[in-house]
């Protein structure tokens, strides 16, 4: 985006749709219009020459959202500069933001990448197996001649031979029990074959299995992909819309990503990387600026105003006598700096790094 948007000013507007009581198009549009008006007030005083064209671009993005309203969006990102405009829909909660400066705000975009992993969904029931490719909160069904697969139990069961009146009911019960067991075995064989065919699509991706509990259990008994399964969701979704399935799958995936990232990073900080951890905004800034940052770990919504020394480039948390630039959000600055220096960004839930100043850096040395 920064390469395509070649010149300032860069306008970033983040709209939180969580402020609406319920998913409502009119309320969402009203929130976005208010944010655009706020940006217009800033542009009028700061960039009067560019105001008209930038507001026109923002209105164009809003009109596009109006035409293609997305009920699943939890937030919107408007990114506009001279000759460039882009609308991003966020499938996670965001906080309202209106910024105009020499670059786009990138925290929300980085957080979107935090969730942008490929995954698979397998729905099983006693009639069929459906496979889906997933990305964020969107699913695309695999329909290539291999999937979906249908279970046809065409095995001919031998009826019980004629028995005396004393043993008739026992014989029928025995037949029904044998038939039920045979059906379960044949269904298990169907799931074993399905699991084998899934290998060509799955590789090392996370897998979510949905379906009635008995069918999920049968699949898990024969699956060689148990290590890939990150969640199971009980319920028959064979005859519902893909949207209904997406609504059940996405929260499970998002929770797994958050929990996995969080536990892994805390373990690194507290156990394995004790000699290579820097905590707190000021020390993290210094280490990143020196090029020592390997992995920057920050709470999702942590912001931090600060003061930047013009001469030394050092960051101060309080104003000093020396001439300084006010940095409204030092976290945004250090995120960008870490990327420029080749570092990795990892987000964790708010409050996770309370004992580390809300931001930590695993250093290269």
Distance CA 268, CA 363 (A): 12
What is the pLDDT averaged over residues 180-185?
77
- Both tokens of 167, joined, read 């043993």
What is the pLDDT averaged over residues 293-313?
89
Q: Residue 57, Cβ neighbours under 10 Å: how many?
A: 21
pLDDT in the model for residue 23: 63
pLDDT in the model for residue 229: 97
pLDDT in the model for residue 175: 42
Choice between 197 and 155, residue whose per-residue pLDDT is larger: 197
pLDDT in the model for residue 131: 97
pLDDT in the model for residue 155: 44
What is the pLDDT averaged over residues 76-98?
95
pLDDT at position 159 over 80: no
What is the pLDDT averaged over residues 302-317?
87
pLDDT in the model for residue 171: 45
Q: What is the pLDDT of residues 15-43, one digit of tens each?
A: 999 765 556 889 899 999 999 999 999 99
Choice between 200 and 3, residue whose per-residue pLDDT is larger: 200
- Both tokens of 128, joined, read 């069929």
Q: What is the pLDDT of residues 110-135, one digit of tens each?
A: 999 989 999 999 999 999 999 999 99
What is the pLDDT averaged over residues 106-112?
94
Q: Predicted confidence band at 85 (pLDDT cuts at 50, 70, 90)?
A: very high
What is the pLDDT averaged over residues 268-292?
85
DSSP 100: E
Give percent of the chain with pLDDT exceeding 70: 89
Q: Residue 132, Cβ neighbours under 10 Å: how many?
A: 22
pLDDT in the model for residue 19: 65
Q: Which residues contact 158 (CB under 8 A, 6 or more apart)?
A: none
| Pairing, β 118-124 against β 207-211 | parallel
What is the pLDDT averaged over residues 185-205?
94
DSSP states of 182-247 as a string? HHHHHHHHHHHHHHHHHHHHHTT--EEEEE-HHHHHHHHHH-S-GGGEEEEEES--TTS-HHHHHH
pLDDT in the model for residue 343: 93
What is the pLDDT averaged over residues 235-259?
93
Choice between 204 and 269, residue whose per-residue pLDDT is larger: 204
Residue 302 bridge partners (DSSP): none
pLDDT at position 156 over 50: no
pLDDT in the model for residue 218: 94
pLDDT in the model for residue 273: 59
Distance CA 248, CA 210 (A): 9
Q: Predicted confidence band at 157 (pLDDT cuts at 50, 70, 90)?
A: very low
**Average pLDDT of the chain?**
88
Q: Predicted confidence band at 365 (pLDDT cuts at 50, 70, 90)?
A: confident
Distance CA 42, CA 98 (A): 9
Task: Tell me which range, 168-182, 243-257, 268-282, is most confidently predicted by mean pLDDT.
Answer: 243-257
Least confident of 75-89, 120-134, 222-236, 315-329: 315-329
């Amino acid at each position: 985006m920064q390469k395509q948007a070649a010149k300032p000013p860069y306008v970033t507007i983040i709209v939180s749709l969580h402020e609406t009581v319920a998913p409502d198009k009119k309320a969402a549009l009203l929130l976005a219009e208010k944010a655009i008006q706020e940006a217009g007030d800033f542009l009028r005083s700061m960039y009067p020459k560019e105001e008209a064209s930038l507001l026109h671009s923002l209105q164009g993005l809003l009109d596009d959202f109006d035409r293609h309203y997305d009920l699943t969006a939890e937030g919107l990102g408007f990114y506009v500069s001279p000759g460039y405009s882009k609308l991003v829909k966020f499938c996670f909660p965001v906080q309202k933001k209106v910024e105009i400066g020499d670059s786009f705000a990138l925290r929300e975009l980085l957080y979107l990448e935090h969730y942008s992993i490929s995954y698979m969904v397998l729905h099983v029931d006693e009639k069929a197996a459906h496979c889906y490719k997933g990305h964020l909160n969107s699913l695309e069904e695999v329909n290539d001649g291999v999937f979906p697969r249908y279970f046809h139990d065409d095995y001919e069961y031998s009826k019980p031979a004629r028995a005396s009146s004393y043993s008739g009911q026992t014989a029928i019960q025995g037949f029904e029990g044998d038939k039920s067991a045979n059906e379960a075995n044949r269904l298990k064989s169907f799931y074993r074959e399905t699991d084998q065919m899934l290998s060509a699509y799955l590789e090392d991706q996370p897998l979510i299995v949905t379906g009635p509990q008995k069918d999920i259990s049968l699949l898990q008994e024969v699956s060689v992909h148990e290590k890939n399964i990150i969640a199971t969701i009980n319920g028959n979704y064979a005859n519902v819309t893909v949207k209904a399935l997406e609504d059940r799958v996405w929260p499970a995936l998002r929770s797994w990503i958050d929990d996995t990232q969080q536990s892994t990073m805390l373990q690194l900080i507290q156990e394995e990387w004790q000699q290579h951890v820097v905590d707190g905004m000021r020390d993290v800034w210094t280490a990143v600026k020196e090029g020592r940052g390997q992995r920057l770990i920050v709470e999702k919504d942590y912001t931090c105003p600060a003061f930047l020394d013009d001469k030394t480039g050092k960051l101060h948390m309080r104003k000093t006598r020396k001439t300084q630039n006010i940095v409204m959000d030092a976290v945004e600055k250090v995120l960008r700096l870490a990327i420029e220096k080749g570092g990795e960004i990892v987000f964790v839930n708010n409050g996770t790094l309370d004992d580390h100043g809300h931001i930590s850096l695993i250093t290269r040395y």
